[in-house]
Structure 1
Amino acid sequence: MCGRFAITLPNDAMAQLFAAAPANDLPTIPSYNVCPTTNIHVVFGEDGTRKLVPMRWGFIPQWYKKPNDGPLLINARAETIAEKPAFRAACRARRCLIPADGFYEWHRPEGGEKQPWFIRPADDGPMVFAGIWQDWEREGERLRTCAMVTCAALGRMAEIHHRVPVVLTPDQWGKWLGEEGHGAASLMRSVEDTALQFHKVSKAVKSNRAEGPDLIAPL
């Protein structure tokens, strides 16, 4: 799974990268400790145009009477996303891109304490996760929410954690967004571990109040 990530790409550069129209209320950049339930940067298609907007990281199903009415859904498993009542409609019609620099994962060695790692692209470029989104509204309160799609990890990544976000390359963005017809399901597969680099980082990232570039610095 993925429960924390970092993003430092400026908003204007992000809009240019995705050829997307940016909203005026995007989250603050940089952020080295993006946490669930906060607003994150998301790219989605609307009226034939890509838009870069803030969305709450934590998907809220339509039947929730309030945002915390059930489990916090920050990830959706690729293996079951098309079957789960919470996700299946969004999987078909409301897919999005979630940009990042990289993400954190925790590994617990046998008999030891959990150790956080930072995982990022081997080429130091931006990382883009496959996501789904949903509008939720109750009694005048409206939230646009999202979740990351995850799949089984491969190789060395699997030694750190058994799940990994679905990472999309630029040539796959259009298909995932539905701009190029059908076939998005074929993209829900694990990134090869050779495309990633890994290093241990400070346990300070455990606190959702922690911030700053030291969080992603190698130990």
Structure 2
Amino acid sequence: MCGRFAITLPPEAMAQLFEAVPGNDLPVVPNYNVCPTNQVHGVVSAEGRHRLTAMRWGFLPHWYKTTGDGPLLINARAETIAEKPAFRTAARERRCLIPASGFYEWTKDGDGNRLPWYIHRTDGAPIAFAGVWQDWERDGTQLTTCAIVTTGANGTMSRIHHRMPVVLAPGDWAKWLGEEGRGAAALMVAAPEEALTMHRVDPAVNSNRASGERLIAPVEA
């Protein structure tokens, strides 16, 4: 799964990287501890151009009467996304890229303590998660919401967890966004093992209130 990540790239750099028109309500960066229900950056393809826009991380199906009306859908499993009522239309029609600098996963030691790891691209480049999005409205509240697509872990990630987010290579961004015809389903696979690396980080990130660059600094494993 993916339950926490970091984004340090300035909005203008994200806009340049994804050739996108930035919105005027984008989340503040850097954020080294992006948590579920936070606002995140999403790249969508609309009217022949890319748009960089704010989205709530936590997909809200149209039948939810409130934001807490059902499970918090921060991830969508690649294996079932085309079948699940919450995601199947979005998987066909509303796919997005979710920029990140890296993401966190946890293992446990012999005493049950949660040990955080920070995972990022080996080449240091930004990550683009595969995502799906949905507009939701109730009683005058309007939200654009999203979920990150996950798949089975590659060999690197499997050392610490059995699942991982779908990390898209730049050459696949257009296809995921629906700009190059069919074939997006084939992209929902694990990134090559050599694409990602990881290191242990301080347990301070276990708190969703923690912040700052120290959260991604390596510590001795």
In the superposition, the TM-score normalised over structure 1's length comes to 0.98
Deviations 1:12-42 (A, max 9, x none): 0110000000001110011100011010000
Q: Is the 8 A contact 2:21 2:50 kept in 1?
A: yes
Query: How far, CA to CA, are the matches of 1:75 and 1:40 in structure 2?
Result: 14
Deviations 1:79-120 (A, max 9, x none): 000000000000000000000000000112455322100000
Q: 1:203 aligned to 2:210? A: no
Identical positions, percent = 63
Structure 1 residue 211: deviation in Å?
0.5
Query: How far, CA to CA, are the matches of 1:78 and 1:200 in structure 2?
Result: 27
Residue number in structure 2 paired with 1:15: 15
**Aligned AA for 2:91?**
C
- Three-state SS of the structure 2 residue aligned to 1:135 is strand
Gaps of 5+ in 1: none
Query: How far, CA to CA, are the matches of 2:207 and 2:173 in structure 1?
Result: 32
| 1:102-181 superposed matches below 5 A | 102-181=102-181
Gaps of 5+ in 2: none
**Aligned AA for 1:80?**
T
| 1:54-93 superposed matches below 5 A | 54-93=54-93
Query: How far, CA to CA, are the matches of 1:41 and 1:89 in structure 2?
Result: 21
Stretch moving more, 185-194 or 66-75: 185-194
Query: How far, CA to CA, are the matches of 1:90 and 1:41 in structure 2?
Result: 17
- Three-state SS of the structure 2 residue aligned to 1:149 is strand
**Aligned AA for 1:98?**
I
Aligned length: 219
**Aligned AA for 1:90?**
A
Q: Give the 4+ runs in structure 1 shifted more than 4 A.
A: none
**Aligned AA for 2:135?**
D
Deviations 1:149-175 (A, max 9, x none): 000002131120111000001100000
**Aligned AA for 1:28?**
V
**Aligned AA for 2:56?**
R
CA-based RMSD: 0.9
Structure 1 residue 193: deviation in Å?
2.2
In the superposition, the TM-score normalised over structure 2's length comes to 0.97
Q: Is the 8 A contact 2:42 2:54 kept in 1?
A: yes
